[in-house]
Each structure stands twice: as structure tokens, then as C-alpha cells.
Amino acid sequence: MKRVAVVTKKKNDILTILERTSGIQVEQLAPEGLGSCALADFDAFVLLGGTEEAPCCLNGVDRFAMEKEIAKGKRVFAEFYESIGPDQYFLEKQSTRYSRMVYIAENGMIEGLSFGDILEEQCNVYTPKHMKSPLGKPLLITQEHICAHDHVTPEAGFLDDEKNKTLWFETESLLICNFRLCNFIRATFAPKKSWRRLLNFILSWVTETEVQTEVLPDHYTQGHYKAELSFEMQANAAVKRAMGWFDDAEILLSEGRRGMREGFGTEIYPDGTRRRTMPIRDDCMGEVGMMYAMDYVVNGTARSLQIADNLFSYCFDYMQRKNAGIFEGMIGWTDSAWGVCYTHDTGRLLVGELLKNMYLGTNSHMKEIQAGLDYLIRTSGSDGLRARRLDNANLSEKRIREIQSKPCDDPEPGDPYFFTALLMFYKLTGKAQYKEAGIRGFEAFLKIYPSCRGSIYTTSRLTGTILGLSWLYYTTREERHKKVLYDTVAQLQTVRHPNGGYLEWVFNGEVPKPNIGDEGSMLVENGNPIVDNLYVVNWLPLGFIQAYFCTGDVYFYELWKDITEYFIHMQIHSRDPLINGTWPRSSDMEKLEVYAIPNDIGWGPWSIESGWTMGPVCAGILIGLHADKLKRFYTC
């Protein structure tokens, strides 16, 4: 039986895998005491520095003892060391936030991996190598801003540059990794199968024993919908799991009385920790308030109604301007961007409270809602369209008159939520001026829809309008409005993926190159099997079920059921309470895991939004599960 020394300061995934592997005897050693250990008794060494923020640097006493064993030709795998082997040492660590690993070993070396496969190690760090290796047999390189989904042909310069190499054979018996790899499972490296194949190779090589990393389960799973089980049971369980995340991840602040947090950013660090996104946002609170309100409407959960009331009250009591002159009714975007108003975000907040009032027969915050709508109307162009964003610092009475005097030259593609709120407010109050404003805005919007004055239009332009188009037809009963709704949904069906969901797609031009340091799509080229849960399909559970209510056409109910099956299927199941029950931004529908380009500055593949995704998805599913109870509020 092989004796393997695992040199590490803390428990980690690789150590656990080796401890669970039969045929080897594993002993954990501290790097600070190697000089006093009987290293000659071990057959192989696994040196793991990646549990720490800084690479491991052995004291001379310990280094001398380790180098004696390396010189004997014993197999050694060294991860995240400051220096190892006779001559190799490394430069200061660098972030891999916008970089990805590329497999460059010859085809056939590791079964299931091909030259050019892209492996995502999340928000990691690596230490560029300083010296050329005697053997120089690389397996991985790192490359920044790869414009490809899961496979790329690296340029010759990248292959030859020593500083890009991240996993290589220094000698025939020394394999070096200069990034933090040891917790690859809890840090959700992707694709999962690719990393497991690589680690199976590494650990089998160093121990000269067959090692299967599958002895340690994945940190999360997706792909859970079972056609043979009750749809209603699975949908209710998915909502329960998702709503439980708000408590488990501590998203709410004092049950919503002090607002709530946005969620989690895309950054997953090498130890598996995640970056929280801390802003308190009006749109997130509106959509999460809607979720809790719908839970009360259909299930009678008293706590949910209280949380919903708390969240909406926070927005209207603390984020809305009152007695504020030209800013009267304006609702601030976040607790820091206090003087910023986004049209789309404000509209989604208002829609949430209006639906709550509609189903409960209440008049909660109707005065404040009216003031918010009046402000949006007052700062719209002569065509009824409004800019995506207006900052109070740039507004004056003169500037507002200028805005009102001409058509909007930079309209918000998400305007339908503003117009939908206008039409909902009209339905609840009978105040005709809001109906007129909503229809006028919609008519102007439809003249530029879906290309929005020459810009590219993607699947998100279609999905984001279904709710609004449904309410437009419900209000006007005009066949031309009905046709736009049905045409939109028909085009959407052309990009439905066989495994569920709708692919992000550019319909009128080339896919723009995703830039680093900016907001952007997860799409690299049409056909990538990417479903976006943040900007695309997140609107559909609510949109489809409202289309069913507004038209009476069971076709939309079936679409609601289909998209709900997708969300059941792709919901995260995990022992980690920070992600269990969630829908991160991007799923690869062929790999059935979270995987896409990491270029977006704040909302990459692993971004989890309390609003935008979690709130509206759950609200839409809850409403649809009780459609028979709620359709009485609509007269079709």
C-alpha cells in the first residue's frame, strides 16, 4: 500500500478525496514541521498551499528535507507554493477574475479532455512562474478575456509564454500547479466533469493508484425535474426551497423593516466563499415583496404578508421623495444611489404593489404609487417614452421642460414595466389619464420594438415585454395589440432549448464581443446553450401567467407550466445554505450546470439576485399554481 504525505494546513477537497480512496495510506503533515518528519518513509507527496491566501513558502529546514525526496525521483504534486524544485519560483499573485484556464495537453493524455477546452476556476489567483521548466510539459494555461463559450484555439504566443502556464510537469516526477486548486469542488470549478477528469489524472499519477474524485460529491446539483412525479408537488417544493434561501442566506434585514440585500455577486473565491452584494434596491424589494405577497394570497402565510408590507413600506416611506418640488414622487434606486431613478426598476416596484392590491382588494400605498407614476410621466419625452436613467443632480425645471418638449432619444427598453404599472393603476382606480399615458407610451414603444432604434435585440427584448403586452391587450382589446403579443411569443419559441428554457439569441446582427469590466451578455455566439435567469427567462413565469389571465388562452398557461418545469429542473440543490434553492444567472443546458463567460463586471454566471430572479420567478410560479383562484380578477 502506497504511503502518501499530504502537506497542508487545513482540510480541503483533495485531502478528503485521498483519505476516502482505498489502496493508499494518507498522513496529513504540517508544512512547518517537514524537517523533523521521516519523509523517507513516504512514497509520494501532495503539497497543498491553496488553503491559504498567500502561497506556501517552506522554511529552509523543511525545504531541504523536501528537496531531498524530490531529488530521489519520488512523485510530487505541488499546489500554490512560492518556490519548489531546484530552481523554480514564482512572481506576485494575480487575480483570475476575468481569466480562464485552457487545457493544452496533447489529445489522449486525459480521457474526456481535448486541446482547447476552457476550464473555469472562478475568482482565483495564480502566481506566474519565473523560470523556464526543464521538462516544460504544460497541461493548463491561463488566458484573459477569452471570447469563446467552452472551447478555444489558443494563439501561439500564449502557448509559448512561460508566465501563462498554470499546471505543468517541471520534471518527470514533479507536477506543479500555481493557482489554488485544492478546494475545486466547494469553489464550484466548472465544468465539473472536466475538472474531475483532470484531478483524477493528477491524483492517480502522484499516488500511482486509481483515484476517483467522485468519492466526494458535487457541491451542488441541477437537473431535478421528474416527469413521472406530480408537477404541482415539485413546483411547490421549488418555491419553498427558494423562499427558504432568503432566511438561510440572511437576505432580509429585520424581516424587511430595514430593507433587504441584493444577493450575491458572481465571485466565488478559492475557499468557496462568495461576495455578497449589499445594496438595498427599490426594484429588488418590489419583486421580493411581490413574492411574499403572493405567498400570502395563495397560502395565507401571515409572516409573508408582514414581510411584503415591510418591504413596500421601506420603499415608499424612505426611498420616495415627498414635498420635494420637481422631484416629488421620485423613488431612489438604492441606499447609496439615492438620487438616481431607473425607469425599469421603479416600474417593477410599482407592479409588485399593484398586483398585491389587486388580489387582496386593498389600497396600500396607492397615493405613493400615483405620485411615483406622476414623476415618471413628468420626466418622459413628448412621445411618452422615458430615458433609462435620470439623476437628480442633472435635473432642473428647465431640463425637465426640455425632456418634455421632444421625443425621448434614449428610451428604456424595459419601459413596458412603467406602462404596465400605468395600466394596472388605471384598472384599480378608473383614472383615465393613466390609461391614456400607458397606451400612448406603449404605442411609441411599439414603433421602435424590438430593435429599439437600431440597436441589437436579443431574447431578453422578447421576454421582458410579454407582461406589458398582455396588459396592453387586456386594456384595449385591439387585435393589433394581440397580434404583437402572439408574434412575440411565437418568435420566442424559435429559441427554446430541448432541455427547457429559452436561449439568449441575437436576432438582428452579429453578437457583440463581451467586454471585460462592463455589463454584458453571457452569449458569445448564437447557438451557445446558455439560458440567462437574470435578464431573459426570469420574466416568463409572471409574463406567461398574466398573458393567460389577460387573454383567456390556455396556450399561455401551458407555456407557464413549461417554463416552471425549467425552473424546477435548474434550481440549485446544495448543502450550502447560501446557494440552496437559487437560480444563478447562467446555466449551460447541455452540461446542466452554472457555466458561461465571466466578463460581466458585476453580474456574471454565478450572480444570484433576490429581485430580478428569485422574487419574480417565485411570484409567477405561485400565481400560476393557483390560477383557478386568481383568474376571477380578470374579465376576458
Q: Which pLDDT score is estimated for 229?
A: 98
Domain residue extents for the chain:
2-218
Q: Which pLDDT score is estimated for 455?
A: 56
pLDDT along the chain (636 residues), means of 10: 98 99 98 97 99 98 98 98 93 96 94 97 96 89 94 85 95 98 99 99 99 99 97 99 99 99 98 98 99 98 99 99 98 97 98 99 99 99 97 98 95 87 99 99 93 72 96 99 98 96 92 80 94 97 99 99 99 99 97 95 95 99 98 92
Are 119 and 112 in contact by the 8 Å Cβ rule? The answer is no
Q: Which pLDDT score is estimated for 428?
A: 98
Largest CA distance in the chain: 88
Q: Which pLDDT score is estimated for 454?
A: 52
Under CATH, what is the fold of the domain 2-218? Answer: Rossmann fold (3.40.50)
Q: Which pLDDT score is estimated for 626?
A: 98
Q: Which pLDDT score is estimated for 410?
A: 86
Pairing of strands 389-391, 340-342: antiparallel
**Angle 302-314/282-299 helices, nearest 10 degrees?**
160
φ and ψ at residue 48, rounded to 5 degrees:
-115, 105
Q: Which pLDDT score is estimated for 121?
A: 98
Question: pTM of the full predicted structure?
Answer: 0.96
Strands ordered across the beta sheet of 530-532: 530-532, 586-588, 593-594
Are 350 and 426 in contact by the 8 Å Cβ rule? The answer is no
Q: Please, what sign has the CA dihedral across residues 461, 462, 468, 472? A: positive
Q: Which pLDDT score is estimated for 453?
A: 56
Tally of CB atoms within 10 A around 575: 10
Q: Which pLDDT score is estimated for 513?
A: 80
DSSP symbol at 50:
T
Strands ordered across the beta sheet of 274-277: 274-277, 263-268, 608-609
Are 97 and 141 in contact by the 8 Å Cβ rule? The answer is no
Please give the C-alpha separations between residue 120 and each of 140, 517, 587, in angstroms, as whole numbers. 11, 18, 14
Q: Which residues of 465-475 are buried (b: 16+ CB within 10 A; e: fewer)?
A: bbbbbbbbbbb
Tally of CB atoms within 10 A around 138: 19
